[in-house]
Chains A and B, each alone.
Chain A
Amino acid sequence: MVFAVVLAGGKGSRMGNSDTPKQFLMLGKSPIIIHTVEKFFVNSKFEKVIVLCPQQWVSHTDNMIKKSIKDDKIVVIEGGSTRNETLYNAIKYIEQNFGLDEETIIVTHDAVRPFVTHRIIEENIEAAGMYAACDTVIPATDTIVESKDGATISQVPNRSELFQGQTPQSFKAKKLKELYESLTQEEKDEMTDACKIFSIKGEPVHLVQGEVFNMKITYPFDLRVAQTMIEGAIAND
């Protein structure tokens, strides 16, 4: 079985003066999170779309989704204090309600990436099935510099070998659970990214080609760009 795991965390503190988490802001005619959830909802390969958010936003998120999509394929549950803990909660939910086996796949996606495409989602499902883990990336266009002290460059990696990570990231859920549980607390605290868990454990993570426009709406500037993208659509479709 395949599950979509939509990560709707964040306190929204980076969105100007608004306290509202970014996923609840309007983009065109709908909140960002609705655009995102719909991409997974319409895909029949997903058994459930599990939306995870901070405890105080669960009811709000649930109500907002039900206004647009009245279907029990979507469920809203509480996330954890970190991204990986949130993923772990999603896996536990799946285990308790559907069971977990070698073929259980989770496609995890940021709620604030509403431009994700059909192809990206399909290729994530396929790659996770074949390789156990995959990450959606685009080639880096800016030169990335490394600085250990934040003041001087310690290294300039070869750009042709660098990619920018997007989402979805997709995994065989049982494998991710096992790897996560094998981490020490210190390691867990250091792991900001689930793909990194696979990497440090020597498990290959396959790359899925993303899209430049599969952007993450993080800052007010991003929302302005996203609005402009939507408004660019002609009305005669």
Chain B
Amino acid sequence: MISAVYQLTAPRMIEITYNELDISSGDVLVRPIYLAVCKADQRYYQGTRSQAALKKKLPMALIHECVAQVVYDPKGKFKPGDRVIAIPNTPTQEDEFIAENYRYSSYFRSSGYNGFLQDYVLMPHDRLVKISNDVDLCVAAFTELVSVSMHIITRFDSIAHKRREKIGVWGDGNLGFITAVLLKYASPESKLYVFGTNSDKLSYFTFAEETYDVADIPSDLSVDHAFECVGGTGAQSAINQIIDHINPEGTIALTGVSENFVAIDTRMILEKGLRMYGSSRSGRVDFENTVKLYEAHPQAVKYFENLVGDVVKVRSITDIHRAFDLDVNRRIGKTIMKWDK
């Protein structure tokens, strides 16, 4: 079967190409229905990645956050019309110790491999996680991002010591918001402090114990553990501020992507005996846990609905450009594409 694929061939240039899909391969044929724009997609689209990266990875279909509908499953494990979250990470080798999302041998959609801007996509069964029809489709679209937070918190649980009276989240953007919401459910006894730069954005964190402007943090404020969800040019000051305010033997989760090297105060890391770990992407188990959380805590989905920004109905390549243009000017929230192409 021939399926249209909408590829970024150069910054701000999207062209159609066509893939032959073998529907007798045993994999599941799905159709993306709602897709969410990620900052990583935006960096390819705007051409802000390095020239070397662009040359290596393009042409490629963008978008790795999507909810899809099952069209055809030759094995009958899924029914036509089932809603599924498509997992962009595809492991190719088993590893006893290294998680699927960190293996060099795994490939990741919209990072060197075609993302979900396609008419149809063939996916292995284990790369699909069924989701209830009750979950808002726009929220379902960015489940991948939520699953990354889920992964960060799951790892935090196994790494950090058990004193968790006060947890800090640095970053008032999408990842900071999602991580804070998940912490609310994962560690309900903890007092949650959120640190950001923008009072408008911080005002969305109504569920937190307290929010602070990073320029005005009380000097005696301390946290047991912290999550850095800043990235970019702000990563350096955020990490160093965390090092200042975290208690000894605290754990710092690094989650924000920065294109630059970051200078940090290693003296204080040593002196306080801090632990830092990095996390990005997520594996199947994180998607499953996220979907379980949606079912167990519908209020969490309601919080995430606040992140839904522009919803762009896509019937043409011009509409795809419009979605990216709207997204690049968005300070917080997710731009969603309703795939009608």
Please report A residues at the B interface, Cβ cutoff 8 Å. 27-30, 35, 38-39, 41-44, 68-69, 114-115, 117-119, 209, 211, 213, 229-230, 232-234, 236-237
The answer to the question of B296 belonging to the interface, with a C-beta cut-off of 8 Å to chain A, is no
Q: By DSSP majority rule, is chain A's interface helix, strand, loop, or mixed?
A: loop
- Show 5 A/B contacts (Cβ-Cβ < 8 Å), sorted by A: A68-B24, A114-B2, A233-B19, A236-B114, A237-B114
**Contacting pair B23 A229 (CB below 8 A):** no
The answer to the question of B249 belonging to the interface, with a C-beta cut-off of 8 Å to chain A, is no
B158-192: CB near A (< 8 Å → 1, else 0) gives 00000000000000000000000000000000000
Q: A42-B72, A119-B341 are in contact. List 14 more A-B contacts (CB 8 A).
A: A30-B20, A38-B23, A68-B24, A114-B2, A115-B4, A117-B4, A117-B119, A118-B31, A119-B315, A211-B4, A233-B18, A234-B17, A236-B114, A237-B113
B340 touches which of A35, A68, A119, A234 (Cβ 8 Å): A119
Q: Quick one: which of B1-25 are within 8 Å of A by CB? A: 1-2, 4-5, 7, 16-20, 22-24
A237 touches which of B5, B16, B24, B341 (Cβ 8 Å): B5
Give how many B residues have a beta carbon under 8 Å from the other chain's beta carbons: 31
Inter-chain contacts of A119 with B (CB < 8 A): 119, 315, 340-341
Inter-chain contacts of A43 with B (CB < 8 A): 71
Distance of A129 from chain B, by nearest CB (Å): 17
**Contacting pair B18 A42 (CB below 8 A):** no
A-B complex: 8 closest residue pairs judged by Cβ atoms? A44-B80, A42-B72, A38-B1, A237-B114, A233-B19, A28-B20, A232-B17, A233-B17
Inter-chain contacts of B62 with A (CB < 8 A): none
**Contacting pair B2 A209 (CB below 8 A):** no
- Known contacts A209-B315, A234-B7, A234-B114; A39 and B340 CB within 8 A of each other: no
Distance of A55 from chain B, by nearest CB (Å): 28
The answer to the question of B195 belonging to the interface, with a C-beta cut-off of 8 Å to chain A, is no
**Contacting pair A44 B18 (CB below 8 A):** no
The answer to the question of B304 belonging to the interface, with a C-beta cut-off of 8 Å to chain A, is no
Distance of A144 from chain B, by nearest CB (Å): 23
CA distance A30 to B5 in the complex (A): 19
B53-75: CB near A (< 8 Å → 1, else 0) gives 00000011100000000011000
**Contacting pair A229 B18 (CB below 8 A):** yes
Inter-chain contacts of A69 with B (CB < 8 A): 23-24
Inter-chain contacts of B2 with A (CB < 8 A): 27-28, 35, 114-115, 230
The answer to the question of B81 belonging to the interface, with a C-beta cut-off of 8 Å to chain A, is yes
The answer to the question of B112 belonging to the interface, with a C-beta cut-off of 8 Å to chain A, is yes
The answer to the question of B120 belonging to the interface, with a C-beta cut-off of 8 Å to chain A, is yes
Inter-chain contacts of B340 with A (CB < 8 A): 119
**Contacting pair A234 B18 (CB below 8 A):** no
Q: Quick one: which of B282-309 are within 8 Å of A by CB? A: none
**Contacting pair A42 B23 (CB below 8 A):** yes
